[in-house]
Amino acid sequence: MPVDRAHPATRRLLAALALGLAATVFVPVPGVAAEPEPEVAEAVAADPQLEADAMELSHKLRCLVCQNQSIAESNAPLAVDLRNQVREQLAAGKNKDDVVDYLVERYGDFVLYEPPFKASTLLLWLGPAVLLFGGAGWLAYRLRRRSVEVAADKGLSATDRARARALLDSAGAQETESPESRS
Amino acid sequence: MIPELGHFALILALVLSLVQAVVPLVGAQRNSMALMAVGRPAAQGQFFFILFSYACLTWAFITSDFSVELAATNSHSATPLMYKITGVWGNHEGSLLLWAMSLSLWTVAVTVFSRHLPEAFMARVLGVLGLVSAGFISFTLVTSNPFERLLPGAGEGRDLNPLLQDPGMIIHPPLLYMGYVGFSVAFAFAIAALLSGRLDAAWARWSRPWTTVAWVFLTAGIAVGSGWAYYELGWGGWWFWDPVENASFMPWLLGTALMHSLAVTEKRGAFRSWTVLLAIGAFSLSLLGTFLVRSGVITSVHAFATDPKRGLYILALLVIVIGASLLLYAMRANKLMGGGSFGLVSRETALLGNNVLLTVASASVLLGTLYPLFLDALNLGKISVGPPYFEAVFVPLMTPVVVLMMFGPFLRWKDDDLVAAVRKVAPAFIASVLIGVGVAFAVDHVTWRTVLGLSLAAWVVLASIQLLVGRLKERAGASASSRLRSITASWWGMWLAHLGIGVFIIGVTMVGSLDRHLDVKMKEGQRAELAGYTFVFRGAVEAQGANYDAARGQIELSRDGKVLDMLTPEKRLYWAQGMPMTEASLNIGPFRDVYVSLGEQLDDGAWIVSLYYKPFISWIWMGCLLMALGGIFAAADVRYRRMAARDAAVASGRRVAASA
Amino acid sequence: MKAKFLVPLLLFFGLAGFLAFGLTLNPREVPSPLIDKPAPKFSLARLDAPEQQFTLESMRGEVWLLNVWASWCVACRQEHPLLVRMARDKVVPVVGLNYKEVRGDGAINARGLSLEAETSMAIERARRWLSDHGDPYQVSVMDIDGRVGIDFGVYGVPETFLIDREGRIRYKHIGPITPDSLQNVLMPKIEELRRAG
């Protein structure tokens, strides 16, 4: 039950207060009701944990008839049917992978918001890493080369440097006075 | 008659945009002052006619002139006035006109605020902006005329999509478009610089405030859009990695990189070709976003009704604008080498490192967004790429960005000692990790994601404090107020925006880890409990809005026996479209939101009610607000005005010399 | 001009090419993973004789179409005259899968109905519709709750499956059949399957 779980969590959060995070709203004090206690409303889901699992999985499955929504968000009839399928099958003891396989067999990879890793999605899954290492490598190469150029630059004679400076200044590339340089 | 006047004004605006595009560019090439001087009045006249045209369209909406097809399909006589006005951009044609109008507004702003620019440079900037404007106005006129008549006129309109009848939607599109389109200024500056061969520190300095202001608008626009999704879609999600959201996020990432890259170029004159490429890239991604939303190549909740002819037109526009600028880049880029020197360990290196990371992140979002299209085009099957993919890719890419973002400011410009710098930040860094782990245990949610998020947030906050303290200690002996005053606006801007990232991460992590949700069937007088809050259902009443009927639930929110609020979620039925809508009700607090939405009524009279507890969620938008505020500070730095005055003096001196 | 500076331009042209091609594609049409796989087994009540069950076995040895329809489906009306003509000309046997006849209709609140009440309502509605518009089906079966529809990966009505002599799905047509798609796509495939078997 989420409610039960929140309480020990919030008490432990008091420890976090010591770390400087003020979160006074979390602090629970047993309630005192003035009027006769109203009766507790019935939860929609008989089994909250099952419902939470079903919804978590549903958020990762795409509704085929909608523009671009998961079957958890959409109220299209097909989304409702598929959500019920997810619920029923999880309740029958199947695990999440079984349910996913069941849907993929019928509707294809399109239903998965998390595309499977296979030959055709190799570039999709590895692309960001390739870009990252490519970009970092390129930057390292450029910076190294620049520092070599700069070192060579230092070998110039004083008059050469003065001439270069003058050229740069006339091109407007002078170092600008800027507040950040003081930091 | 008025719609025809609007149509005619738009045609005049097109003519003026062509004048603005061609004459100053020719003038700049021939060095003719008279031709260059045409740019400003043309740009201002164009703005006047677009504004007039836009006002005419708005008039058709306000007066419920349903002989105008656009008003008939997007408005209704009973729609509240505010939503009649905003209904103008709640559709493809009207929003395109808004696009053109904000481009024109930016152009006029350039003519007003950048008067100090050299005449030839200004002429080229206006020419480029005029070309883009001509492309978009002609697109509007040829494929998407907003003034199309409906003969015979409709008796009643079909009303604006109820989802868009919301205060958030009043400001979201204008902010977003001002951001998107604002990158056109940085783009035009870059192209003008390439054309003139004048890509130097001054160019970077001129571009910086424009880029920053556009970025502020885009940040605010995205934040408002996400806030709207949060309370309007009825279940409290705030980001969906939908292609259209990605379309606004990619230019944001690249624009962020551009802002920082401009800093390096201004300071060292270095990596100019890279900065130019970012300026072209940020605007290209804005254009690409426009294509994705309006062409129908990708399914999205937010896409406009589509028509292949429109897609083809924008694609042609894209190829001309981006293709020509990248060609120009290829021709001129080898002149952009060199620049001042800086060491391997320096502020410059940190900034460039983060730029590469942001660019990679942006490219990854692009890859994920377009990958289904690639596979489909190659006939390799259909797939969907959604939130699980983007989260898996994005978190590892952004983690180093955040670490580096707070490490960079500790490094000195030009050259620094790595060991000394690491030693300086090590205590804060270690403390952050400890805090992250500690808080994760304290809230009893120990997952790697929670630990990572909290550690990063703690790192941002601690490093920010350390930076500020260090900055204040610099002038030992001075009074506290003079120490504070010695800090420049751009430094505050950087500090606030970075702190905003930390606040944002706290919000994302806490709500992602600790939110609670419960669906209950509630009859009058029944109660439910969630996360220490008590909800008592006090029944549902019928209510009527201007253009809808509603059932309004009354739910008393209390904690520890103390009543906090009466929440009134609604289930609305809009008359014109017969579309049911859930309108959530929120109790917003600094450390948590309580969010309630009303579902269906069951046969036994009970209502399905969804209860949500969202800890720290408003920190997400607080973080965005801090980022935008930081941008405003940075753009408002007195330095730009001082330098502008100097440039103006130089320019007028030249002019005097030239005329003498 | 150095070649490396042309890289962004070339990348962009590649991207633009894909986007141009993307304009010709329909992002809403999802191909079925069931092509060339055995059709999902089912056993459903016949519309004409609800006490009898219909299974795939009874079509073994024939090349046939399974057409998903419902009386509330507007697009079905578009293809229906063509189906009737095909039946008259004995082009190919067509089996109707009447999909969620009652609960699929947004105008009806089916939540309070018992299964029996829903079934008899569905039979009545479906029969009336066929007598009004003509009955092109060799037989129609009732998928009251849409479970068989899910097994076939149905996501919109109408859809039509081409099934071969061994009971394998060979092709799926999404949306209403048009004279054009019948002549240029379905018929060649049907003839090929007939020759093959």
Percent of chain A with pLDDT over 70: 61
Q: Which of B339, B349, B444 sits opposite A8 (nearest CB)?
A: B444
Q: Is the pLDDT of residue B234 over 90?
A: no
Locate the chain C residue with the closest alpha carbon to A66: C28
**pLDDT tens-digit readout, B586-597:** 999 999 999 999
Q: What whole-number distance in Å separates Cα of residue C57 and Cα of residue C42?
A: 10
Percent of chain C with pLDDT over 90: 58
Three-state SS letters, chain A:
CHHHHHHHHHHHHHHHHHCCCCCHHHCCCCCCCCCCCCCECEECCCCHHHHHHHHHHHCCEECCCCCCCECCCCCCHHHHHHHHHHHHHHHCCCCHHHHHHHHHHHHCHHHECCCCCCHHHHHHHHHHHHHHHHHHHHHHHHHHHHHHHHHHHHCCCHHHHHHHHHHHHHCCCCCCCCHHHHC
**pLDDT tens-digit readout, B11-33:** 999 999 999 999 999 999 998 88
Percent of chain B with pLDDT over 90: 62
Q: Is the pLDDT of residue B477 over 90?
A: no
Structure-block tokens of residue B199: 């890509």
**pLDDT tens-digit readout, B388-442:** 999 999 999 999 999 999 999 999 888 888 899 999 999 999 999 999 999 999 9
Q: Is the pLDDT of residue A7 over 60?
A: no
Angle between helices B92-113 and B39-62 (to 10 degrees): 150
In this structure, the dihedral spanned by the alpha carbons of residues C47, C53, C56 and C58, taken in order and rounded to 10 degrees, is -90
Preferred mutation among C150, C151, C157 to probe A, highest tally of A CBs within 10 A: C150
Gyration radius from chain A CA atoms: 31
User: How many Cβ atoms sit within 10 Å of the Cβ of residue B500?
Assistant: 24
Q: Is B388 on the interface with A (CB under 8 A)?
A: yes
Cα end-to-end span (Å), chain A: 53
From A49, A127, A36, select the one nearest A87 (Cα to Cα).
A49
- With contact defined as 3+ CB pairs under 8 Å, the chains touching C are A, B
CB contact under 8 A, C15 and B370: yes
How many residues are there in chain C?
A: 197
pLDDT at A149: 67
Q: Which of C32, C150, C155 sits opposite A65 (nearest CB)?
A: C155
Structure-block tokens of residue C138: 């060799």
What is the distance in angstroms between the Cα of C106 and the nearest Cα belonging to chain A? 9
**pLDDT tens-digit readout, A10-34:** 444 434 444 444 334 444 444 444 5
Percent of chain A with pLDDT over 90: 32
**Counts for chain C of helices (H) and strands (E), in that order:** 6, 7
CB contact under 8 A, C8 and B277: yes
pLDDT at A167: 56
CB contact under 8 A, B334 and C2: yes
pLDDT at A178: 39
**pLDDT tens-digit readout, C107-150:** 777 777 888 888 999 999 999 999 999 999 999 999 998 899 99
Preferred mutation among B196, B233, B383, B526 to probe A, highest tally of A CBs within 10 A: B383
CB contact under 8 A, B322 and C12: yes
- Three-class secondary structure of residue B262 per DSSP: helix
User: How many Cβ atoms sit within 10 Å of the Cβ of residue B31?
Assistant: 12
Q: Pick the more confident residue, C179 or A76.
A: C179
Q: Is the pLDDT of residue A55 over 80?
A: yes
Q: Which of A78, A104, A109 sits opposite C155 (nearest CB)?
A: A78
Least trusted range by pLDDT, from A115-124, B106-115, B195-204, B254-263: B195-204
Q: Which of A14, A15, A139 sits opposite B356 (nearest CB)?
A: A139
Q: Is the pLDDT of residue B144 over 80?
A: yes
Mean pLDDT (whole number) for B277-286: 95
The answer to whether B330 touches C9, Cβ cutoff 8 Å, is yes
pLDDT at B114: 84
Which single residue is written with the structure tokens 């377009």? Answer: B370
- Three-class secondary structure of residue B536 per DSSP: strand
pLDDT at B151: 83
pLDDT at A5: 39
**pLDDT tens-digit readout, B446-460:** 999 999 999 999 999
pLDDT at B385: 93
pLDDT at A156: 52
pLDDT level of residue B81 (50, 70, 90 thresholds): very high
**pTM (2 decimals)?**
0.89
In this structure, the dihedral spanned by the alpha carbons of residues B600, B602, B607 and B611, taken in order and rounded to 10 degrees, is -60
β-pairing verdict for B548-559 and B562-567: antiparallel
Structure-block tokens of residue C129: 């519709």
pLDDT at A150: 62
Locate the chain B residue with the closest alpha carbon to A170: B200
**pLDDT tens-digit readout, B117-143:** 888 999 999 999 999 999 999 999 999
Locate the chain C residue with the closest alpha carbon to B309: C23
Looking at residue B13, its amino acid is A
Preferred mutation among C1, C19, C113 to probe B, highest tally of B CBs within 10 A: C19
From C149, B63, B463, B563, select the one nearest A107 (Cα to Cα).
C149
In this structure, the dihedral spanned by the alpha carbons of residues C134, C136, C142 and C146, taken in order and rounded to 10 degrees, is -100
What are the DSSP calls for B82-132, one per residue? HHHHHHTTSSHHHHHHHHHHHHHHHHHHHHHHTTTS-HHHHHHHHHHHHHH
- Phi and psi, residue A92, nearest 5°: -75, 5
ipTM over 0.90: no
Instruction: Extract the runs of DSSP E, i.e. beta strands, from B469-591.
Output: 516-522, 527-530, 533-544, 548-559, 562-567, 570-574, 579-583, 585-588
A82 contacts in C (CB within 8 Å)? 150
* Cα torsion angle, C10, C12, C17, C18, sign: positive
Burial C28-50 (b: 16+ CB within 10 A, else e): bebbbbbeeeebeebebbebeee
| CATH classification code of A48-116 | 1.10.8.640
